[in-house]
């Protein structure tokens, strides 16, 4: 819709076209923009983000603790990655092969001392068991196909994710 408005303004500003001509051009262009979008399932991610399924992913270049990493994702209007299934785990593995470990959106929460994803859902340890014993102040990272328990202050790279924009 914004594109159609910008185009209408461009044509409306042209001094040689009669008003009815500018209106016809604007309506034609607006109709074409709408028709291009009908039935389309194009998904977009911000620059430097990776698209997989319905999500966009961003892998950090630097290293920070888990809490700082979580805040960085929030500033990007995203969250630390919540892994939904093994396809997503494989995607993460394939896009972090040169990394040792990367923070994900999983940590131990009080008072139950249970592993909880950033979206509030509990970890299904049958699907994704956590390796390394959980200690106090633990957060989770991924290395290859495994989730590991880490002290939250450990500095690692991290992965943010957010929903792809459907256009």
Same structural domain, 100 and 127: yes
Q: What is the reported pLDDT for 111?
A: 67
Give the pTM.
0.72
Tens digit of pLDDT at every position of the chain (167 positions): 333 333 333 334 434 556 655 666 565 545 444 444 455 579 999 999 999 999 999 999 999 999 999 999 999 999 999 999 999 999 998 888 767 799 999 999 776 778 999 999 999 988 888 888 767 679 999 998 899 999 999 999 999 999 999 88
Residue 10, pLDDT score: 34
- Based on the domain organization, do 84 and 135 belong to the same domain? yes
Whether 100 and 147 share a structural domain: yes
What total of structural domains would you count in the chain? 2
Residues 161 and 114 in one domain: yes
The domain containing residue 16 runs over which residues? 2-37
Judge if 117 and 140 occupy the same domain.
Answer: yes
- Answer yes or no: do 31 and 76 share one domain: no
Whether residue 160 is found in the same domain as residue 100: yes
CATH at residue 129: 3.10.100.10
Range 10-46 burial, b when 16+ CB lie within 10 A, else e: ebeeeeeeeeeebeebbeebbeeeeeeeeeeeebebe
């Amino acid at each position: 819709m914004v594109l159609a408005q910008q185009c209408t303004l461009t044509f409306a500003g042209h001094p040689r076209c009669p008003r009815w001509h500018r209106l016809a051009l604007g309506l034609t262009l607006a109709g074409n923009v709408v028709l291009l979008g009908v039935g389309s399932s194009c998904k977009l991610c911000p620059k430097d983000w990776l698209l997989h399924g319905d999500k966009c992913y961003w892998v950090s270049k630097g290293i920070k603790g888990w809490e700082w990493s979580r805040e960085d994702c929030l500033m990007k209007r995203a969250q630390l990655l919540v892994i939904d299934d093994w396809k997503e785990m494989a995607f993460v593995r394939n896009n972090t092969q040169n990394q040792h470990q990367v923070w994900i959106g999983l940590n131990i929460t009080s008072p139950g001392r249970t592993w909880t994803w950033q979206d509030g859902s509990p970890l299904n340890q049958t699907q994704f068991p956590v390796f390394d014993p959980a200690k106090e102040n633990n957060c989770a990272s991924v290395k290859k196909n495994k989730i590991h328990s880490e002290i939250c202050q450990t500095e690692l790279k991290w992965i943010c994710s957010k929903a792809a924009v459907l256009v």
